[in-house]
Structure 1
Amino acid sequence: MTTRIVLCLLVLTTAAAAGAAESGKSATAKIIDSLGKTLGTAHFSEKNEGVEVTVKVSGLPPGKHGIHLHEQGKCDPPGFSTAGGHFNPSAKQHGSMNPGGKHAGDLPNLMVKADGTAEFTATAKGATLGDGGGSLLKKGGTSIIIHAGPDDEKTDPSGNSGGRIACGVVTAQ
């Protein structure tokens, strides 16, 4: 009898921990170019290790492009400078290859095919869709930016990824 109670408690505790880590919270962003034309969407789902970011876009120049989460929920064309710097609640350096990095908003490069389309899934470690400093849904919001060039994944503060060519404001669903 005692073994059965302990086993039931273990199962309930494990299920509760998994439920707390994967909250089911989600968000989305409509990604636009500098003329305000919709290029695609980004979907955000809270997971155990951070926020999973899934992007589907078209109409971009082929090749590698830096893609990052930025600290402000503003996408004013043409240069999207209103999005601010990279989302960096832990005050780290930029890039996965930087010993002082990486920002919570640092994501791997987006590879755009010859036809201008791309699909991408990555995890923003250190980000959440809940409360606290790591929340992408914080007061003032956050955004997702696609850059003109590839991110070198080490140069602070932005990875030498060039100008901002697309932007989307992260919005709770």
Structure 2
Amino acid sequence: MTLTKTLLSTALIASLAACSGADSDLPGADESQTESAMPDSEMSMENETMSDDAMDDTAMDDSGMSETMEATRGEVMKKDIMNPDGETIGTVTLTSLGMGGTEVKVDVSGLEQGTHALHFHQTGKCEGPDFTSAGGHFNPTDKEHGFDVAGGPHAGDMENIDVGINGEGVFTVTNERVSIRSDNSDLPALLDADGAALMIHQKADDYTSQPSGAAGARVGCAVIKS
């Protein structure tokens, strides 16, 4: 009888141990936690790597865009602007924009307060006191004068500039109809056989009147030559 109880007890213990071993073979909480923890860690590292790559790509894109924009800017030429008495009153800086024309930056002082016309003239001579040596407007394509006129404007026509009460001003305009020299684009070149002149007038250009917008006397002139 005692032997039978002992055998039964042993069998019961063995059975329970077997069940316990079988349960450990089933997918458990510990295995699930281990599997999920590793992908989370790897995913985190991958995200960090992708974020760094994305930042590098953005930096490269910005750099490439800057280089592309800078590549459109070519030759730069700076000339003095003289008044009718032969005194230097400022400078004009021309920057080639290729097929986009020419950027014109004017830095002047000693002018009357108000609005003044700004043009390119056809000859590179600035002989005072009236600067008539510069000829008429730069107009190689034989257009009418003025932005508000059918058949206009001249290649040398540009927007008016406004000078402050102190007589000083810095202005930047883009003339899309001229190039500095002929090898930069198909646009007419300022540096032709006799050059050109930048001219500031006493009054505003009305963008209509022929042949020069009723802009009055020539008060500032810069010779545009090589």
Match of 1:98 in 2: 149
Q: Is the 8 A contact 2:101 2:187 kept in 1?
A: no
Match of 2:221 in 1: 167
Match of 2:160 in 1: 109
3-state secondary structure, aligned to 2:138? coil
Match of 1:6 in 2: none
Residues 8-36 of structure 1, C-alpha deviations (whole Å, 9 max, x = no match): xxxxxxx9xx79x9361122221010111
Match of 2:114 in 1: 63
Q: Is the 8 A contact 1:30 1:168 kept in 2?
A: yes
TM-score w.r.t. length of structure 1: 0.84
Runs of 4+ in 1 over 4 A off after TM superposition: none
Q: Is the 8 A contact 1:27 1:171 kept in 2?
A: no
Q: Is the 8 A contact 2:91 2:108 kept in 1?
A: yes
Residues 60-117 of structure 1, C-alpha deviations (whole Å, 9 max, x = no match): 0000011100000000000000000001111101111111101111011011000000
Q: 1:77 aligns with which of 128, 136, 155?
A: 128
Q: 2:77 aligns with which of 27, 36, 42?
A: 27
* Rounded Cα–Cα distance in structure 1 between residues aligned with 2:155 and 2:79: 17
Say whether 1:123 aligns with 2:174: yes
Q: Is the 8 A contact 2:92 2:106 kept in 1?
A: yes
* Rounded Cα–Cα distance in structure 1 between residues aligned with 2:79 and 2:210: 26
Q: Give the gaps of 5 or more residues in structure 2.
A: 1-64
Aligned residue pairs total: 155
Residues 136-161 of structure 1, C-alpha deviations (whole Å, 9 max, x = no match): 11111100011111100111210000
3-state secondary structure, aligned to 1:91? coil
Q: Give the gaps of 5 or more residues in structure 1.
A: 1-14
Larger relative contact order (CA 8 Å, sep ≥ 6)? 1
Q: Report sequence identity in percent.
A: 39
TM-score w.r.t. length of structure 2: 0.65
Say whether 1:143 aligns with 2:197: yes
Match of 2:212 in 1: 158
